[in-house]
Structure 1
Amino acid sequence: MTLVAAGALGWGIYHYAYEHFAQRAADQKPSKPVNINDVLTATVTALTLIGAVLAGLYAYRKQLLAEGDAHRAEASQLADRYTTAAEQLGHDQAAVRLAGVYALARLADDWAEQRQVCIDVLCAYLRMPYEPDASGTSHRVGEREVRQTIIRVIRDHLHQLDAPTTWCSYDFDFTGATFDGGDFSRIHFLGRVAFDRAEFSGDAITFYGTVFSRGVVTFADAEFSSGTVVNFANVEFNKGVVSFEYAKFNGSLVTFNYAAFNGVVSFVGAEFSGGTVTFVRAEFNNGAVGFHRTALTSGSICFDGARFLGGTVDFNGATLSGGTVGFDGTRFSGTTFDWGPLPVPTSA
């Protein structure tokens, strides 16, 4: 069938070429006979070009099919790796769970299309019930090391914005997670980050020098337990919303010293009971800072040396039944305040 089609195509081209050269020969004065060699040459040339085009199309289609097969094989392999890593994360032995953490992190680096899914699984692991007390009935041996490893893996992927396998632009959901220590320092979050209802207890947790940009950062209903040190020093909150709404600061030390707030910062409904929250030399720049309905029953909030540059600060509806709020050396420039129950600083 192919030979018949090729023959018919050749005959058609030969006939067209013959008519073309015959017309040209007839138009000449005096007229000349048709040069069969010219007709044959034109026919062969046309057939060669058509054959080359068809061969190219065939090769291209074959390549597409091969790439499709390779892509499907790769996707199947990646899916198998995901299944294996997920099974390892659910294993009873901590060493196997650790292997699952590293396997899932490597998979996230290799599988950009499903990177967010891999990150979600790691975050989901941190959200699972956790008993840090070794004497507790639900305590799992080695579990703390597994969780700290997840935090380190996440941190290591958030240092460089332009790294080929960076996770900076992805979302992280730590809602309800328990953190008994951890290092999130000097990293970049560009997406949505949720620590809602998270519990910070035990060893120190640091966000020193971390940059939260262009997203929503929420610590709503989070609890900072007694004796815990949480370090937000030199943190930058840029062009987004930072929420500590209804968070509970119970006997903890939480520092925002030298932090830069550029956007909306809300401590609405937060409870300060014992401990200290410091904003020493922090900068609030042309944003809205809300302490509306904040309750301070003991402990202290310190704004010593802080700078408020434009924007609004709202303490309306706050209750001050104990503790202190300090503004020594604080500078105010073009800022609108509602002091609520707080005494107006002499420098305001």
Structure 2
Amino acid sequence: MQFPRRRSPEQQGRHTPNLWPVWLVAPVSLILVAVLAYGLYHGVDTFLTAENPSKKPVSGQDNVKTTVTALTLVGAVLAGLYAYRKQLLDEGASHRADATQLAERYTKAAEQLGHDQAAVRLAGVYAMARLADDWEEQRRVCVDVLCAYLRMPYETDTAAEGYMKGEREVRLTIIRTIRDHLQDPAASTTWCGYDLDFTGAVFDGGDFSGVQLIGGMVSFGGAIFSGGIVDFSNAAFSGSRVNFNHTAFSGSRVSFMRVDLSGSRVTFNRANLSAGTIDFYRATLSGGMLDFNSAAFTGSRVNFNRATLSGSRVNFNRATLSGGMLDFNSAAFTGSRVNFNRATLSGSRVTFSQARFSSGTVSFDGAILSSGTVDFRRAIFSGATVTLDRATLTGGTVGFDGATFSGGTIDFSSAEITGGTLTFVSAELSGGTVGFDGATFSGGTVDFNGAEITGGTLTFEWATLSAGVVDFSLATFSGGVIGFSGAEITGGKLIFELVTLSGGTVEFSGAVFSTGTIDFRDAALGGSTLNFDGVRIDAACTVVWGPLPTIDANQP
């Protein structure tokens, strides 16, 4: 195995002392000593004379003794300065020797990483990691070498040509080594903040659990996750950018369980997810961004079960979902936006079952659903918006069965429904708005069977129904508004069979019924207002009133 050789790092010492030259320091020192001696001699004479109470003349011998004592002290100081200067020079030489030794260690570790035997390569991994700890100036270079090793061609099939025995353990050891150095940003040997480049690497396992990616760029672009478990659980991606663009997931389980993605951007743009699982169970995404734009889902499962998304954005724009599953079950959305704009769903299952939406938006604007399922079953809406504006539904199911609406908006404005099913079976609407304004129905079914509407607004204003079914059978209306104002019914069926209307308003003003069927058979009227002002009902339209029992408006 040939490991790519790179030029040895420059031999940098810790610091070479910046000392003044001896030819300058020596004469300056002599002059200073002479001036000091002269000053001391005359200064001592003046001092001793002033301190002599008998005013006797001070002897020259006393002056000399005092001056010699002072000069001795000065000499001691100069000797100390000389010793300090010599120490600095010795340290500089020692540091340069250290740098030479570190460079030699780098060369040896690189040679070990390129050895044919796995045991020697393992030794090279540990040697390079220890060198990174010891050599702060070239730590980034050492980290880059370990990342470069993972980018080298790697055969995972034991029967294939090019398979190297023991290579998997070497690679897993590198990953563990990187993980261990990304645990504590405050550690003196931390690798946090460094860019990590795994572009095109092959992963069949690896433990990155608990890593602290604080700033910097981590690239898995074009990598292949072909098997095993790659574990990022309990990691923190704070302010960093992590790139999985063009990555292929063909069998691995990649775990981001309980990961904190606050303030970061993690991208899976144009990734190919054909098998395996990407798991964001109980992940926290606050103020960050998670992108799967133009990704292809053909068999993988991406799990956001019980995740918390606040003030963040998750994008699946232009993604192709022909298989697999996106699972947001029991997730909590506050001020976040999840976008499936212009996505194509032809077989996948996207589920928000029991999710809680207090604010934010889930958008399928311009999406095409030909098969598969989008499931909001038993979800709780207290303020968010789900929009399928200009979406096209030709098959599959969009379900809100058992969902609770106390606020927010479900918007199908201008949607084109030619097939498939929209279900609100047993849903509860006490506030907010569900709107199909301007939608076109040429097939499929919209089913409110058994729904309970006590408030809010349900509107089909200016919608066109040329085929298909809108079914309110067994629904209960005790408040709110159901509006078909300006709607045009040219075919299909509008069914209110066995409906109980005890309050609120059903508004048909200005609607046109030219063909098709409107069925109020066995509906119970009492307390609700049905407004047919300006309605046009042509002879070709079938209106089934049947027996219309009247109920007490106060009847429970």
Matched, 1:219 2:244: yes
Name the aligned partner's letter for residue 201 of structure 1.
S
Name the aligned partner's letter for residue 243 of structure 1.
T
Matched, 1:33 2:78: no
Structure 2 distance, partners of 1:282, 1:334, is 15
Provide Cα deviations, 1:165-193, integer angstroms capped at 9, x if missing partner.
33333332111100011222233222422
State which drifts further: 35-44 or 64-73: 35-44
Structure 1 distance, partners of 2:58, 2:26, is 28
Query: Whose helix proportion is higher, 1 or 2?
Result: 1
Name the aligned partner's letter for residue 71 of structure 2.
L
Aligned counterpart in structure 1 of residue 193 of structure 2, from 154, 166, 169: 169
| 1:275, distance to aligned residue in structure 2 (A) | 2.6
| 1:336, distance to aligned residue in structure 2 (A) | 3.2
| 1:154, distance to aligned residue in structure 2 (A) | 1.9
Structure 2 SS opposite 1:123? helix
Query: Whose strand proportion is higher, 1 or 2?
Result: 2
Name the aligned partner's letter for residue 16 of structure 1.
G
Matched, 1:286 2:311: yes
Structure 1 residues 33 and 167: CA distance shift in structure 2, 3 A: same
Name the aligned partner's letter for residue 283 of structure 2.
A
Structure 2 distance, partners of 1:271, 1:20, is 92
What does residue 39 of structure 2 align with? 16
Name the aligned partner's letter for residue 291 of structure 1.
F
Matched, 1:184 2:205: no
Aligned counterpart in structure 2 of residue 45 of structure 1, from 69, 73, 77: 69
Structure 1 distance, partners of 2:342, 2:186, is 44
What does residue 118 of structure 1 align with? 142
* Conservation of the 8 A alpha-carbon contact between 1:14 and 1:39: no
State which drifts further: 42-51 or 178-187: 42-51
* Conservation of the 8 A alpha-carbon contact between 2:342 and 2:364: no
Structure 1 distance, partners of 2:334, 2:28, is 81
Structure 1 SS opposite 2:87? helix
Name the aligned partner's letter for residue 354 of structure 2.
G
| 1:96, distance to aligned residue in structure 2 (A) | 1.2
Name the aligned partner's letter for residue 86 of structure 2.
K
State which drifts further: 291-300 or 336-345: 336-345
Structure 1 residues 304 and 154: CA distance shift in structure 2, 3 A: same
Structure 2 distance, partners of 1:285, 1:135, is 48
Structure 1 SS opposite 2:233? coil
Structure 1 residues 329 and 60: CA distance shift in structure 2, 3 A: same
Structure 2 distance, partners of 1:128, 1:17, is 75
Structure number with greater CO (CA < 8 Å, separation at least 6) is 1
Structure 2 distance, partners of 1:49, 1:319, is 89
Provide Cα deviations, 1:91-138, integer angstroms capped at 9, x if missing partner.
112121111111111212222222221111111000001111122222
Structure 2 SS opposite 1:77? helix
Structure 1 residues 181 and 34: CA distance shift in structure 2, 3 A: same
State which drifts further: 239-248 or 47-56: 47-56
| 1:62, distance to aligned residue in structure 2 (A) | 0.6
Structure 1 residues 7 and 232: CA distance shift in structure 2, 3 A: closer
| 1:204, distance to aligned residue in structure 2 (A) | 2.3
TM-score (norm 1): 0.89
Matched, 1:334 2:359: yes
Count of paired positions:
346
What does residue 271 of structure 2 align with? 247
* Conservation of the 8 A alpha-carbon contact between 1:179 and 1:199: yes
What does residue 301 of structure 2 align with? 276
State which drifts further: 62-71 or 155-164: 155-164
| 1:219, distance to aligned residue in structure 2 (A) | 0.9
What does residue 513 of structure 2 align with? none
| 1:300, distance to aligned residue in structure 2 (A) | 1.6
Provide Cα deviations, 1:182-210, integer angstroms capped at 9, x if missing partner.
22223322242211111101222222222
* Conservation of the 8 A alpha-carbon contact between 1:205 and 1:231: yes
* Conservation of the 8 A alpha-carbon contact between 1:14 and 1:40: no
TM-score (norm 2): 0.57
Structure 2 distance, partners of 1:26, 1:307, is 90
Structure 2 distance, partners of 1:59, 1:131, is 61
| 1:38, distance to aligned residue in structure 2 (A) | 4.1
Matched, 1:64 2:88: yes
Structure 2 distance, partners of 1:197, 1:319, is 23
Structure 1 distance, partners of 2:328, 2:90, is 64
Larger Rg: 2
| 1:220, distance to aligned residue in structure 2 (A) | 1.1
| 1:337, distance to aligned residue in structure 2 (A) | 3.6
Give me the identity figure in percent. 51
| 1:163, distance to aligned residue in structure 2 (A) | 4.0
What does residue 106 of structure 1 align with? 130
Matched ranges for 1:188-207 at <5 A = 188-190=212-214, 191-207=216-232
| 1:30, distance to aligned residue in structure 2 (A) | 9.7
Structure 1 residues 18 and 256: CA distance shift in structure 2, 3 A: closer
Structure 2 distance, partners of 1:166, 1:6, is 46
| 1:338, distance to aligned residue in structure 2 (A) | 2.6
Structure 2 distance, partners of 1:290, 1:205, is 23
Structure 1 distance, partners of 2:236, 2:201, is 21
Structure 2 SS opposite 1:228? strand
| 1:294, distance to aligned residue in structure 2 (A) | 1.5
| 1:301, distance to aligned residue in structure 2 (A) | 0.9
Structure 2 SS opposite 1:237? coil
Structure 2 distance, partners of 1:136, 1:223, is 20
Structure 1 distance, partners of 2:238, 2:317, is 24
* Conservation of the 8 A alpha-carbon contact between 2:45 and 2:63: no
Structure 1 distance, partners of 2:331, 2:59, is 96
| 1:245, distance to aligned residue in structure 2 (A) | 1.4
Q: Which runs of 5+ in 2 are unaligned?
A: 1-24, 375-385, 387-399, 409-556
What does residue 120 of structure 2 align with? 96
| 1:223, distance to aligned residue in structure 2 (A) | 1.0
